[in-house]
Amino acid sequence: MAADILVYRADTVPVGKDQVPHLELTREIARRFNHLYGEVFPEPQAMLAEEAAVLPGLDGRKMSKSYGNTILMSDEPE
């Protein structure tokens, strides 16, 4: 995720609440790289959309493989 954000030098990134820790790690990587090699990457900020914060799964909880409530690409349309 960090590489995908940093390669495009994004200033803001649309994320859900559950992805904010990953974005903070990306910010730390950017800070460290910039400290070592000069100002190369911006520190991306989170753009939280409350209505899209969590994608609900089949049972209404957060969609997650660990919950067993995902919709797979190989699933039938029904």
From residue 51, how far is each of 1, 22, 54 by CA, in Å?
22, 20, 8
Number of domains in the chain: 1
Whether 58 is in a domain gets the answer no
Q: What is the pLDDT of residues 18-51, one digit of tens each?
A: 888 999 999 999 999 999 999 999 999 999 866 6
Q: Is 13 helix (H, G, I), strand (E, B) or coil?
A: strand
Is residue 38 situated within a structural domain?
yes
For the chain, helix (H) and strand (E) counts, in that order, are: 2, 2
| 67 falls within a domain | no
Could you read off the pLDDT of 53-68 as tens digits, one per residue? 566 666 777 777 788 7
46 in a structural domain: yes
Whether residue 28 is contained in a domain is answered as yes
pLDDT score for 52 = 55
Residue range(s) defining the domain that contains residue 27: 2-52
Residue 26 lies in a domain: yes
